[in-house]
Amino acid sequence: MVVTGLSPLGSTAFDTALPETALPETATPDMAPLVPLFAPYCGGIAQQSDLLKALGFLAQGSWQGVRQLEGGRTHPYRLEWHGESAPLEMLRCKLLFPAMPELGYRFSLQAHQLVLWMVQIEGEDLPQAFWRWLLLGQSMAGEA
C-alpha cells in the first residue's frame, strides 16, 4: 500500500529554537531542524511538542506498541521502517507481531504520514486511523 495525494495542513511560521529541557525524552536536539519540514503535514505549531517526540521515533527506525483488543486481550507488535527522514520521501515499513511470526505486513508510505501517526499515538498503540488504513484501506486525506 502507498499513501499518496495528501495535502499539507498547518503552518510552518514558528520558532523551532526550544530549550533542550523542552525536548521529549525520545527526541534529540538535532530533531528541531526537521520540525518546519514536517509541521505542515502534522498539525502545525499546535503539535510542536508531540512532533518533536514523533521525529525522535522516526530517527530510531522502529517502534514497539501493544494493540488492545476486545475482551482485555492484547497483541504486542513492532513497526520498523527504512528510508530518508524527509516528509515526502517513501519509507519501507514492516509491521511484525512477535507472538504470531506468520502474520506481518509490508507497506510503503511517505515519511510525513508515519510521523503524523506517531504524533497521534494513543497510549501504547498507534491511532485508529493507522489501523483503518492498514486493515480497511481507508484514505488518510485530510487527517491531521
Rounded (5°) CA angle 37-40-43: 120
Give pLDDT tens digits along the chain (144 positions): 443 333 233 322 223 332 232 334 444 558 888 999 999 999 887 888 899 999 999 999 999 999 988 888 999 999 999 999 999 999 999 999 999 989 999 999 999 999 999 999 999 999 999 999 999 988 875 444
What is the predicted pLDDT for the residue at 30? 82
pTM for the full predicted model: 0.75
83/77 Cα distance (integer angstroms): 20
